Amino acid sequence: MGLNLGLWSNRLNIDFDWYNRKTTGLLFNVPVSYTSGFGSYPDNIGSLQNRGIELSVDAQPVRSAFTWDIGFNLSLNKNKILTLPNHQGFVNGSFYEKEGYDIQTWYVRKYAGVDPQTGNARWYYDPNQYKDSLTTSYSRAQRILFGSASPKGFGSVFTTLSYKGIKLYAQFYYQWGNYVRDVWSRYTQGDGFGAFFNKTKKELQRWQKPGDITDVPKYVYNNPTSSYEFSTRFLYKGDYVRLREIQLSYDFSPNLLQKLYVHALTIYLRGENLLTWVKDKNLVYDPDAAGITGQLNLTVPTIKTVSAGINLGF
């Protein structure tokens, strides 16, 4: 369902779409007991719903010798599993598939920081039932449904300013609502596990003596605890805003070009991905590198580039 509006001789354009999409017969690998000789079998199970809006607004507030365009677009999507066979939820890697929840809901132990007296990592034993009970045994801590790897929304804001031949264009991209997992944290923040691997600066905040309050456990060579295993300690908010593109250009006027047998000439200076603001200060990687599955696997981040160029039209 959508709506397209153009107002004031197209100085304001609005595009609005609302969608509700139901997918059935999804192909999933349904887990089975390993004693059968297999771990799962593919089946057309369950149904899924994606519901959301897409909005695009584009305006030109100033139109004279000096023009100013500004616009934004926004996508919101909410994903929900509608039905699963036997209404049974199941574990799917680091996720949990359950009716009524997002398809990429994290299934994870909840980290409870470090014991100030001993420096040991702790997890919540069963956050749903016993709100404050903690344990130092990783195996015994129960996993909970925690956020999703799918962003709640994303979009961009763009603006162009131009005067005579000079044009300045900028585009911001934003995304929020997802959680990303750092898969290599077991080595880079291993608290002594993987001792020969490089570490992130966060390890310097480790617990050192009784009374220290920190969320980085004590560093013990060869780490006999499980503090490096997956928990909410290594789940970060994936919210970020990025200056995707900024470009300053100058179009030479056709009068000046007549003598050169060129009918268009533009010079420009462009920067891509120059600035990124990541909401979660603990996340040292580019949240964009997590991709669609929300796993940061030492993937190459988006590169910043600066380029300059000339466009010639004959």
Can you tell me which of 19, 38, 66, 163 binds another protein, judged by CB under 8 A? 38
208: region left, alpha or beta (phi > 0 left; psi from -120 to 50 alpha):
alpha
Does residue 226 bind another protein (CB under 8 A)?
Answer: yes
28 C-beta neighbours (distance < 10 Å), count: 19
Binding another protein by CB under 8 A: which of 16, 101, 138, 252?
A: 138
Site string for another protein, 67-96 (x = CB under 8 A): -----------------------xx-----
Nearer to another protein among residue 139 and residue 198 (C-beta): 139
Contact of 255 with 219, CB cutoff 8 Å: no
Q: Is 75 exposed, middle or buried (0-12, 13-18, 19+ CB in 10 A)?
A: middle
Asked if 198 interacts with another protein (CB under 8 A), we say no
- Minimum distance between the CB of residue 224 and another protein, rounded to whole angstroms? 5
Structure tokens, 180? 């990303």
Q: Compare residues 55 and 134 and give the one whose CB is closer to another protein.
A: 134
| Residues 156-175 within binding reach of another protein (CB under 8 A) | none
Strands (E), the chain: 2-7, 12-31, 40-63, 66-83, 90-92, 95-97, 105-109, 111-114, 121-126, 130-135, 143-148, 153-163, 166-176, 179-182, 191-194, 235-237, 240-251, 264-278, 295-296, 305-313
> Is 9 among the residues that bind another protein (CB under 8 A)?
no
By CB under 8 A, is residue 34 in contact with another protein? yes
Q: Does 139 bind another protein (CB under 8 A)?
A: yes
CA atoms within 13 A on the CB side of 293: 10
How many chain residues touch another protein (CB under 8 A)? 28
* Closest separation in Å from C-beta 16 to another protein: 43
* 229 contacts another protein (rule: CB under 8 A): yes
Q: Which residues of the shown chain bind another protein in the complex (CB under 8 A)?
A: 31-39, 41, 90-91, 138-140, 187, 193-196, 221-226, 229-230
